[in-house]
Amino acid sequence: MTTTLRFRYAKLGKVRFTSHRDVARMWERALRRSGLPVAWSKGFSPRPLLSFGYALPTGCESVAEYLDVHLAEEEGTPDRPDGEQSETSADEQRPWSPAGCVAALPGRLSPLLPQGVDVLAVGKLGDGVDSLQQAVTSCSWELEVLGVPAEELATRVEDLLDARSAVLRRERNGLQADGDLRPSVRALTVLGAVDDVPGQKVARCRLHAELATQPRGLRVAELVQRLGADLTLVRACRTQQWIERDGIRCDPLAMTGRAEDSFHAPHAEGRAS
């Protein structure tokens, strides 16, 4: 059985202005520096086998990004090609080992990633687990919008949630199409006004939203657009991704099996929140 590791990481601050592809390259470089034995694809142009989840739009922050890393070494493979076992465990001699060092990976990888990208948790993935792209069904977001006071925003949110459908004209790939975004809005609440921003003149509110990613994703910008043309989205942070199966909603790291196989890095989460 080959090993796949699932990482949860944050993307906060200035680095949020980089794209999904940029983050992929940051990870490739960090993993090479870490010495982790990442598996490579075969063929004319081999690439490291990394699978990223649902892309985070450029400019958004997140404390809930996920990445699956497929490792080249099989679990339990002896360190030495001749199979000889030495007194000290082979795990201790290697830069990384499946059994011993997974817990230490967040602390080892974060310094190799740009400031603002912090590894929060890691777990080993069982066999036959769906890829993140297939499995994730919805994402939770914390949003901040400028434009109207909290009471007015709450009324608009109520109207949207009460509506049977909410049509939005969207442009994608140069084509305009009307779409009903209502089914994609799983939850939407006004958390309150934000009044601690110095020099702020326009009303600023914080919202929580849970938006479906399947069958087709709803973008936070589209949601805000539907709530009113007088609103400006000034901050968006993905706070959670969800996998819902048979009515049960869980975190993608819950797919990593036994709880003790997941290792959270509390200091990093503290920083991220």
Partner 1 sequence: MDSLWSSIEPLLDGVSTPGRYVGGELGARSPVHDPGRVSWLLVYPDTYEIGLPNQGLQILYELLNERPDSLAERAYAPWVDMEAALRGAGLPLFSLENHLPARAFDVIAFNLSAELVYTNVLNLIDLAGMAVRASERAAGDPIVIAGGHCAFNPEPLAEFIDAFAIGDGEEVVGEINETLAAHRGTDERWSDRAAVLRSLAEIEGVYVPSLYEAHFANGRLLGVSPRLPDVPATVSKRTVADLADWPYPRQQLVPLIEVVHDRLNVEVFRGCTRGCRFCQAGMITRPVRERPAEQVFTMVQSGLERTGYDEVALTSLSTADFSGIEDTVRRIISDPQHGEHVAVSLPSLRVDAFTVGTAAEISRVRRTGLTFAPEGGTWRMRRVINKLIREEDLYGAVDAAFSQGWRRVKLYFLIGLPTERDEDVIGIAVLAKRCVEIGRRYHRSPTVTVSVGGVVPKPQTPFQWHGQDTIGELRRKIDLLRRACRGVRGLTLRWHDPEATAVEGLVSRGDRRVGAVIERVWRAGGTFQEWSERFDLRLWLDALAAEGLCLDDVVHRSRDRDEVLAWDHISAGLHRDFLWSDYQDSLNEAVVEDCRWTPCYDCGACTSGALEHVVASPVPPAGGSQGTGQDLSCGDRVPVRVLGR
| Chain residues in the site for partner 1 (CB under 8 A) | 14-15, 17-19, 21-22, 25-26, 28-33, 40, 44-46, 48, 58-59, 112, 114-116, 233-234
Closer residue to partner 1 (CB): 17 or 158 = 17
Strand 2-11 versus strand 61-74 pairing type: antiparallel
CB 117, CB 23: distance < 8 Å: yes
Taking the complex as a whole, how short is the minimal distance between the CB of residue 249 and partner 1, in angstroms?
A: 31
Closer residue to partner 1 (CB): 40 or 158 = 40
Sign of the torsion formed by the C-alpha atoms of 17, 23, 25 and 30: positive
Closer residue to partner 1 (CB): 33 or 80 = 33
Taking the complex as a whole, how short is the minimal distance between the CB of residue 15 and partner 1, in angstroms?
A: 6
Taking the complex as a whole, how short is the minimal distance between the CB of residue 268 and partner 1, in angstroms?
A: 18
Helix/strand/coil for 209: strand
Taking the complex as a whole, how short is the minimal distance between the CB of residue 197 and partner 1, in angstroms?
A: 10
Taking the complex as a whole, how short is the minimal distance between the CB of residue 40 and partner 1, in angstroms?
A: 7
Helices marked H in the chain: 20-34, 90-93, 105-109, 132-135, 150-162, 220-227, 266-272
Closer residue to partner 1 (CB): 48 or 179 = 48
Closer residue to partner 1 (CB): 77 or 134 = 77
Closer residue to partner 1 (CB): 168 or 221 = 221
> What are 201's two structure tokens?
């003149």
Taking the complex as a whole, how short is the minimal distance between the CB of residue 50 and partner 1, in angstroms?
A: 13
Determine phi and psi for 80, rounding to 5 degrees.
-105, 140
Torsion angle of C-alpha atoms 256, 258, 260, 262, degrees rounded to 10? 10
Sign of the torsion formed by the C-alpha atoms of 31, 33, 34 and 39: positive
